[in-house]
Amino acid sequence: MLERLMFGRTGHESTRLIFGAAGIGWTSQEHADAVLEQVRAAGINHLDTAASYGDAEVRMAPFLRRHRADYFLATKTGERTGDAARAELERSLERLEVDQVDLIQLHNLVEADEFDVAHGPGGAVEALVRARDEGLVRFIGVTGHGVRIAEMHRRSLERHDFDSVLLPYNHLMMRNADYRRHFEALVDECQARQVAVQTIKAVARRRWTTDGDEPHRSWYEPLPPGPALARAVAFVLARPGLFLNTSSDTRLLDAIVAAATGPCEAPSDEDLDADARTHHMAPLFDGHELETI
């Protein structure tokens, strides 16, 4: 059985494994239906999508017609101005065919200029607060990628009392001393304020290399099913208080669920380092050339 944990101060006890819906955004309705039935069978009760995930919101609508009450539903907006964020939220509600989402998140809020617009007068934060007051959303979060994001999330929390954050967390990311320092400070602050901490890129192997003709079902190359993937999942879930979003490569869903089922013991640094060597793993982000996706 998947462990459940109170999702910050929302009052919802979410499975610590959250379904990330990016992988169904560019597939058929039939495939999306099958994946969502896998999610249901696994006992996952928290769905995370975004306006920018292709047709993911549309693909989720038939499932939500049947099961909306059983799920904590999150989406994201990449817009920074208030009017554009409101319009994108309304479009998401229409595409999902719901009257309300549980969580709306500012998507990948990393760059300083976008930060200032989103948090400033007439910005996205103001608009989403109004949407919350009107009952279109229940909670507001912020997400991001790259080695700067933990520090930027702390800045966001200084400007607004967000209900959740989302950012990368894996063994290779935590080798970066600056990222580790900011990540730990962010987690400490979130725990003190009851802000939910969601993690992504747990099973990332590296960016795609130029050789090979394997279809890319994720913007990064994930680890294959097996012991290394299981240890990557355990690295996250053995740490209390963190949530883990599944990979956009939906072929890995069963393997990730299996690794997340039952108590997870923290793998040793030696085993994780050996996995990195065996699978030729490399960081997805380095603070310079590899910051964009």
What pLDDT, in 10s, does the model give residues 120-176? 999 999 999 999 999 999 999 999 999 999 999 999 999 999 999 999 999 999 999
Dihedral sign, Cα of residue 189, residue 192, residue 196, residue 197: positive
Beta bridge partners of 243: 198
What pLDDT, in 10s, does the model give residues 49-65? 999 999 999 999 999 99
Q: What backbone torsions phi and psi does residue 290 show, to the nearest 5 degrees?
A: -100, 35
What pLDDT, in 10s, does the model give residues 232-243? 999 999 999 999
Indicate whether this model's pTM tops 0.75. Answer: yes
247: left (phi over 0), alpha (psi -120 to 50) or beta: beta
- Beta strand pairing call for 72-77 and 101-106: parallel
Identity of the residue numbered 2: L
What class is the 4-278 domain?
A: alpha beta
Q: What is the pLDDT of residue 223?
A: 96
